[in-house]
Structure 1
Amino acid sequence: MTQPALIVAGPTTSGKSALALALAERFGGTIINADAMQCYRELRVITARPTPEDEARAPHALYGVLPAAVAGHVGWWREAALEAMTTSRLPILCGGTGMYLRALTKGISALPEIPEAAREEARARLAAEGPAKLHAALHPDDSAIRPSDSQRIARAYEVLLGTGRSLASWQREAPVLPPAPYDFRAILLDPPRAELKSAIATRWEAMMAGGAVAEVAELLRQGLDPTLPAMRAHGVPEVAAMLRGEITEEEASRRAIANTGAYTKRQATWFRHQELVPTAHLHRINARIAGLTQVSERNAPELFSFLHEAVDAPQHRP
C-alpha cells in the first residue's frame, strides 16, 4: 500500500495556508512547510507564517526551524520533509517553493558537494558585483536563470567553480535521490492576477502593522551576510533600506508590493509549466481561498471528490 500525500501549491497570497488548514482538520493531516522563507525562525510576520492559533488547530512541521544565519537548501529541506512525513497519517505539503516540492515528487540530480571556497567566492562576487554582472559570468547553459535571481545565480556560479560544469548540466542527469515513495496528489491554486495584487497589498499593510519592521531591525542587529536567503526574503531588503534612511516607508511599501507581485507571476508560470504530479492527480482551483468558509464538501464538491479519491482509495489497495 502506498501512503497518500497531498500538495497544496500556488503563488504567494493565493490562500494555500487557509486551504491546508481546512484539509488538515477535515482529514487528520499534518501541514508540512514547503516555503523556503517560512523555514526561518526570525521571519514569522514578514513571511506570513501560520499564527500560533492556526498551529494549535492542526499539527505543523518545518515552520521557523532554521536560524536566519543558516542558508537552507533543497537537499536539507527534502530530508527534513521526509522525516516529518513518516510520522503523519496524511502529510499535507503546503508552500510555493516549487523546486522543494519537485525534489520530493521527481527526485534530486547527482550534484556533488561544492567546496566551501567556491561558495565563499560566489557570495563575495555577488555582494561586490550584484546579480546582473555575476549572471554574465555563468556558463552559457545557465543563461535561462533570470539576471535578478541572485540566489540561483550564486548557486550556479559556485557549481561552475566547484565542478567545472553548469548547474543545468547537472540537473539534466538522472536523479541520484529518487522520487519519494508516496502517492502524491496536488491541489494547485491559480487565482486571477487582480485578486493576487489586491491580496498582496492588504497583507503588506497587515505585516507593517503587525511587527515586520521590528523583525527586520532584529535581522540587521545580527549583522548577517546580506547574501543569505533570509536577508532576501520579500520585504526584508525594502524595510532594511527604510531603516537605514535610504528610502521612505511609502517607497519601501511600494517596492515590496511590486516585487512580491512580480514574484507571484513567476510562481504561477512555474507551476503551470512544471508537472509535479501526473495530470490525473492534479486538481486546479482558479480562485483565491480567502477563508476557511470556502472549503467544505457542500460548496466545493469537485475538490472533495478529488480528495476522497486521493486520501481514501490508497487505504484499500493491496
Structure 2
Amino acid sequence: MTAKDAILIAGPTASGKSAFALDLAERRGGLIINADSMQVYRELRIVTARPSESHQARVPHRLYGVRSGVAPYSVGQWLDDAAEALREARESGLVPIFVGGTGLYFKALLEGLSPVPEIPDDIRSYWRERARIETAAALHTLLGDRDPAAAAQLRPSDTQRIVRALEVVQATGQSITQWQQGEGTPLLNAEQTEKYVVAPDRATLYRACDARAARMVEDGAIEEVAALLRLGLDPALPVMRAIGVRPLGAYLRGETDLETALSRLQTETRRYAKRQLTWARRNMISWGWIEPE
C-alpha cells in the first residue's frame, strides 16, 4: 500500500501508461480507474485501445466501456462516476490508480469543477442543431462575436467546446471563462497523490503511435467503426470524433483506399499524442515525468 491516497498516471496515447498502471496495481494492490474520455464508450474497444480482457482480469478496472456513445459524456458525469470508483477502492482497501490521457479529467480530480449552471434543454438542443448543419469554423466566428474571451482560448475546429461556450453565454449572459474562475470542490488532495506523466522521447512515441494504428486495423478496427457508423449517430457526438473514426469511415464509404486510411489514422494518432504532450507540459510540470521502461 502506498503512503499516498491515490496514484495519478497521465501521458499521451501509446506512451505505455496503461502497462505502467497495471504493474503498479499488481505490486501495490490497486484498482485502476479510467481517466480517458474515449475509453468510457462501449462501442469503441479497439479504436480507443481499451485494456484487454486479460489485463482487466489481473486487477480490478473501472469506468472502461461503461457508457454508450449515443449520448455525450461530460467531465461532470465522469467526476461523479470516478467518486464512486474511488469509494469502492477505499472500502476494499485498494489503492485507486487513475490512468488516462484526458488532462481535463485530472484537472477536475485535483481542482474540482467550476459552478456553471445547468443549461436549459431548449438552448442545448438549439446549439446542437446548429453544430449539425454548420462548420466548427463558422460557430467559432459566431462565438468570437458573442464571447471573444472564450473564442480566443478554443481551437476553431473544437466543435464540442465551442458549442458549450455558446450555450453558456446564451443561458447565463456570462462568458464560460468567467464561470471557470469559480472554485470547485476537488475529489483528491493534490498533496496526497503520487502523480506521473509517462513521456517517451518524441521519436519513440511517434513510432509507437504508428505501430498502434497498424495493430488496430489488424485487430478489427475497421469492423468496429463500421458497426458504429451503422448506428447513424450525430457526427457532433464525441464518440464520432474518436481518433480513427473519420479515416476508417472514409475507407468504408469507398472514398479512399486502405493504405491511405491507415496513413491518415497514423497521422491523427501522432498529432493527438503531440497535443496531449503539449497540454501536459503546460499543466503538469510539477508531476513526475518518467520514461516508459
TM superposition score normalised by structure 1: 0.85
Deviation for aligned residue 1:161: 2.4
For the residues of structure 1 that align with 2:50 and 2:119, how far apart are their CA atoms?
31
Which deviates further from its counterpart, 19-28 or 166-175? 166-175
Identity of aligned residues (%): 47
Aligned partner of 1:17 in structure 2 is 18
Shift of 1:215: 0.8
Of the three residues 171, 178, 200, the one matched with 2:209 is 200
Which residue of structure 1 lines up, in the alignment, with residue 97 of structure 2? 92
What is the distance in 2 between the residues matched to 1:55 and 1:165? 44
Find the aligned partners of 1:185 and 1:155 in 2 and give their Cα distance.
Answer: 32
CA distance in 1, matches of 2:270, 2:189: 35
What is the match of residue 307 of structure 1?
A: none
Q: Aligned equivalents of 1:269 and 1:260: distance in 2?
A: 14
Contact 2:213 2:266 survives alignment (8 Å): yes
Within the candidate set 99, 106, 111, 1:106 is matched to 111
Residue aligning to 2:27: 26
1:264-298 deviation digits (Å, cap 9, x = unpaired)? 1111111111148xx3xx3211x3x2xxxx4xxxx
- Which structure 2 residues correspond to residues 37-186 of structure 1 after superposition, within 5 A? 37-88=38-89, 89-138=94-143, 139-142=147-150, 143-175=152-184, 177-181=185-189, 183-186=192-195
What SS does the corresponding residue of 1:268 show, helix, strand or coil? helix
Q: Which moved more, 1:6-15 or 1:263-272?
A: 263-272
C-alpha distance in 1 between matches for 2:262 and 2:118: 39
| Pair 1:267-2:272 in alignment | no
Alignment TM-score, normalising by the size of structure 2: 0.92
Unmatched runs of 5 consecutive residues or more in structure 2: none
Shift of residue 17, structure 1, vs aligned partner:
0.5
State the shift of 1:197 in Å: 1.1
Task: Give the equivalent residue in structure 2 for 1:309.
Answer: none
Amino acid at match of 2:51: P
Q: Which moved more, 1:239-248 or 1:219-228?
A: 239-248
Does residue 218 (structure 1) correspond to residue 219 (structure 2)? The answer is no
After TM superposition, the structure 1 stretch with the greater mean CA deviation from structure 2, 205-214 or 247-256, is 247-256
Corresponding residue SS for 1:32: strand
RMSD between superposed Cα atoms in Å? 1.6
What SS does structure 2 have at the residue aligned with 1:121? helix
1:228 aligns with 2:229: no
Shift of 1:3: 5.9
- Does structure 2 retain, via aligned residues, the 8 Å contact 1:21–1:58? yes
User: Is the CA contact 1:141–1:169 (under 8 Å) kept in the aligned structure 2?
Assistant: no
Q: Deviations over 1:90-138 (max 9, x none)?
A: 0000001010111011111010111122222222222222111111111
Structure 1 letter corresponding to 2:110: T
Letter in 2 for 1:112: P
Q: Read off the aligned partner of 1:70 and give its amino acid letter.
A: A
Give the letter aligned to residue 95 of structure 1. Answer: G
